[in-house]
Structure 1
Amino acid sequence: MSFSETSHRDPVSAMARSAAIEIIPLKSAEEKLLLAATDTKITITCSPKFGIARTMELSAYAVKHGYQVVPHLAARQVSGRQELQEIVCRLNDVGVSELFVIGGDATGESGAYPDSAALLDDLAELDHRLERIGVGCYPEGHPNIAEKALLEALRRKQVYADYMVSQLCFEADTILGWLRRMRSDGVKLPLRIGVAAPLSMRKLIELSVKIGVGSSVRFLSKQHGLVGNLILGGAYKPEELLEAFGEELQSPELGIEGVHLFSFNQVQAAVDWQKRIGQRP
């Protein structure tokens, strides 16, 4: 049976199998990522706490062990064009062919790039071997950036990018409504839906509040019974979000190409979910 036939019968199952798993470069990350099958796409975050160097180190480790790797690059952590050139050279040497570019949370004046679009302008002029570039998007908006500015940024970035990944969101209608607006406003980038791994509800709500997706947390709490789940230790089921998209999951006009799984380094839970949903009839 071909992939297209399987996808048509159960697109949720197909997306689960092909989901990229996001890993934070903590000390235990090397051991954690080896839990995933080598045909799994691994994305590695970049934050002020761990820095670009740690992201590059873990990316090289993952490539060495046979994984297709997508390092994140935070624009505000890059000091300028010279450092960007050095990063590109290292990616070329390691054999990385895909990059996910974000603005990043770094503050102050250490970086030359105020946002990811500015870095992408320079990256386009460098000699690199990147075949795909991803960028972030925010179906629920951004606490520090106006909606109009987010739209203009996506329009600017899609000149260089190949796809976009949505910030964590728990409500299909919110993502669909936002995506329809983006399509009508000229944003054509394929979307990879940002989905949380099947963590305990207590842990997931705690982490979600930290990264600023409060309205989604309220929806999640209402739908799943917050108090009961906190007491009983219930687990989030990512497939329910994908199933809520219905036929829209395969809509050519909406252009949803896959899933980005936020594992919060609970890699075994993410892998188990991929197997369980990916193998269902």
Structure 2
Amino acid sequence: MNTSTELPVRIEIIPGSNIVARLRQCVPDDSTITVTCLPHHGPAETVRQSVELAERGYRAVPHLAARSIESRQQLREFTQRLSEAGVKDIFVIAGDARTPVGPYAWSLPLMEEIAGLGLFELGVAAYPEGHPSVQEPELTQLLLKKQELAGWAVTQMCFSGPVLGEYLDRLRSDGVTLPVWAGIPGRVRRTRLVSLAGRIGVGPSLKFAQRSGSLLRNVLAPSSYNPARLVRSIDEGGGFAGLHVYSFNDVERLGV
């Protein structure tokens, strides 16, 4: 990341054919790597790559999308493989699939099943700039329910330290006590950031950046985005458990 932050850092990747080999060339093998679960990849690929990462020494954190889990039997198979590989954390989301392919329509029932195993600490999503289909009061109520089963939360990607700080203050005032990781973009190519942002659900953050003159120069003008200013702002604000870095698989540029 080429920053002076002392906060712990997690790196998010998208499943890909050579991403593990590329990580091994530039990211220390004791790092924490989270693996997305997108509809066109499916949870099986997320689990496979998470197991591979864990076997290479990384602390792997798979994302499991409720709407993409086909059955309770499939969930049992996934969790068994992950547990045997030494995976300790799972990030549980509803997922981007329009209709569920199995018994889980949203994240809370999936969390309840996984929590019942007693094998994993669960993470949940938080939305500093809102959600396209859920209103803010409901988002907070859902997070309050989920925190009974979860151990940490990660924010959706955001380009503004003040926005993240104000959001964290709101969560605390509303009774959300979970450790929260600030979701930020890494040092990635501008073209890759723009082309992939919408696909992983960070369009609102990009629009926010486009409305701000200083952020416009920082995000869209250079050939690559540099998060150093954003990281400094998060450090100065305090309160976050760490940085969750969206790499867009541009891992060679992260500088970790």
Q: Same fold (TM over 0.5)?
A: yes
Residue number in structure 2 paired with 1:13: 5
CA offset digits 1:87-118 (Å, max 9, x no partner): 22111221111111111111224121121111
| Alignment partner of 2:249 out of 246, 254, 265 | 265
Following TM superposition, by how much is the alpha carbon of 1:229 offset from its aligned partner in structure 2, in angstroms? Answer: 5.0
> Secondary structure of 1:245's match?
helix
> Secondary structure of 2:243's match?
strand
Structure 2 matches for 1:48-127, cutoff 5 A?
48-126=39-117
Q: Does residue 256 of the first structure (1) align with residue 240 of the second (2)?
A: yes
Residue number in structure 1 paired with 2:146: 157
Compute the RMSD of aligned alpha carbons.
2.2
Greater gyration radius: 1
Residue number in structure 2 paired with 1:30: 20
Following TM superposition, by how much is the alpha carbon of 1:261 offset from its aligned partner in structure 2, in angstroms? Answer: 0.8
| Native 8 Å contact 2:67 2:95 kept in 1 | yes
Residue number in structure 1 paired with 2:189: 200
Q: What is the letter of the counterpart of residue 269 of structure 1?
A: R
Following TM superposition, by how much is the alpha carbon of 1:235 offset from its aligned partner in structure 2, in angstroms? Answer: 2.3
Consecutive unaligned residues of structure 1, counting only runs of 5 or more, are 1-10, 250-254, 275-281
TM-score (norm 2): 0.89
- Higher helix content, 1 or 2: 1
| Native 8 Å contact 1:201 1:234 kept in 2 | yes
CA offset digits 1:212-258 (Å, max 9, x no partner): 4445324434214459954xx43212121121235322xxxxx4110
| Native 8 Å contact 1:140 1:213 kept in 2 | no
CA pair 109-53 structure 1, distance change in 2 beyond 3 A? closer
Provide the C-alpha distance between the structure 2 equivalents of 1:85 and 1:156, rounded to a whole number of angstroms. 24
Q: What is the letter of the counterpart of residue 41 of structure 2?
A: F
> Secondary structure of 1:256's match?
coil
Q: What is the letter of the counterpart of residue 91 of structure 2?
A: F
Q: Does residue 140 of the first structure (1) align with residue 124 of the second (2)?
A: no
CA pair 12-136 structure 1, distance change in 2 beyond 3 A? farther
Provide the C-alpha distance between the structure 2 equivalents of 1:191 and 1:96, rounded to a whole number of angstroms. 20
Structure 1 window deviating more from structure 2 (178-187 vs 196-205): it is 196-205
Provide the C-alpha distance between the structure 1 equivalents of 2:216 and 2:101, rounded to a whole number of angstroms. 44
Consecutive unaligned residues of structure 2, counting only runs of 5 or more, are none
CA offset digits 1:106-163 (Å, max 9, x no partner): 122412112111111122223x422x22111110001111112211111111011111
| Native 8 Å contact 2:218 2:226 kept in 1 | no
Provide the C-alpha distance between the structure 2 equivalents of 1:74 and 1:145, rounded to a whole number of angstroms. 17
CA pair 225-125 structure 1, distance change in 2 beyond 3 A? closer
Q: Does residue 240 of the first structure (1) align with residue 229 of the second (2)?
A: yes
| Native 8 Å contact 2:185 2:247 kept in 1 | yes
State the aligned residue count.
251
**Percent of pairs identical after alignment?**
37
Provide the C-alpha distance between the structure 2 equivalents of 1:96 and 1:90, rounded to a whole number of angstroms. 9
CA pair 157-91 structure 1, distance change in 2 beyond 3 A? same
Q: What is the letter of the counterpart of residue 109 of structure 2?
A: A
CA pair 229-169 structure 1, distance change in 2 beyond 3 A? closer
> Secondary structure of 1:14's match?
coil
Residue number in structure 2 paired with 1:8: none
Provide the C-alpha distance between the structure 2 equivalents of 1:57 and 1:239, rounded to a whole number of angstroms. 33
Structure 1 window deviating more from structure 2 (186-195 vs 105-114): it is 105-114
TM-score (norm 1): 0.82
